[in-house]
């Protein structure tokens, strides 16, 4: 059983035979997530219905963050964890990682990069995002450009859509702001 507080998630595993599976650092590599879930199902039979992403009642998944950056499918990784959490209430815990924190912290850098374009080079949007602010955008330097590219077919469109969807009202930004920083584990019957 999992419960959420404003600051952390609490996970209680009451019975022998329950599985607590931790995973993280997918960094936009959806094929790795897909392979891992398939392997877990082969070895531990974690799914009641794999196609619908419905876990068996005795399975709890905890993702330790870093869903985004570096790979080409961050949005697909996020969508998969959103579906898992929605279809398995109380049995999927999504924690925040440093890459989600960097993306949220540097959102103003993305806004400023849209306001100022130094040249006609379309890639200048990415250059300005990475270089903006004191010391530059940590997110931009740590694979964030790969994440931003998923939001559109050209740099300006991608950055505009990124800013919109990462805002407090945007679907991705709202989801990231709800991620918990940590989880407290309680294994009943153990000392």
Q: What is the pLDDT of residue 14?
A: 58
Tens of pLDDT, residue by residue over 58-98, are: 999 999 999 999 999 999 999 999 999 999 998 999 999 99
Model pLDDT, residue 139? 94
Give yes or no for a contact between 186 and 13, defined as CB atoms under 8 angstroms apart. yes
Q: Which residues pair with 59 in a beta bridge?
A: 19
User: CB neighbours of 182 closer than 8 A, spacing ≥ 6?
Assistant: 8, 9, 95
DSSP-assigned states of every residue in 97-122: -HHHHHHHHTHHHHHHHHH---SS-T
Counting as low any pLDDT under 70, the low residues of the chain are: 1-6, 12-16, 117-120, 133-134, 188-191
pLDDT at 188: 66
DSSP collapsed to 3 states, 37-56: HHHHHHHHCCEEECCCCEEC
pLDDT at position 121, please?
78
Residue 95 pLDDT: 96
Give the global pTM.
Answer: 0.90
């Amino acid at each position: 059983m999992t419960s959420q507080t404003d600051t952390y998630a609490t996970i209680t595993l009451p019975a022998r035979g329950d599985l607590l599976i931790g995973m993280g650092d997918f960094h936009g590599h959806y094929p790795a997530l897909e392979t891992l879930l398939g392997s877990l199902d082969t070895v531990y039979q974690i799914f009641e219905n794999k196609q619908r992403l419905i876990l068996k009642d005795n399975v709890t998944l905890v993702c330790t963050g870093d869903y985004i950056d570096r790979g080409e499918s961050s949005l697909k990784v996020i969508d998969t964890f959103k579906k898992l959490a929605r279809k398995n209430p109380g049995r999927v815990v999504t924690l925040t990682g440093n890459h989600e924190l960097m993306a949220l912290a540097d959102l103003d850098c993305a806004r400023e990069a849209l306001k100022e374009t130094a040249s006609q080079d379309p890639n200048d949007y990415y250059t300005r995002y990475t270089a903006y602010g004191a010391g530059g955008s940590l997110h931009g330097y740590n694979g964030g450009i790969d994440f931003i590219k998923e939001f559109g077919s050209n740099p300006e469109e991608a950055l505009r859509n990124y800013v919109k969807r990462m805002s407090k009202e945007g679907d991705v930004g709202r989801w990231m702001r709800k991620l918990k920083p940590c989880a407290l584990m309680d294994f009943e019957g153990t000392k």
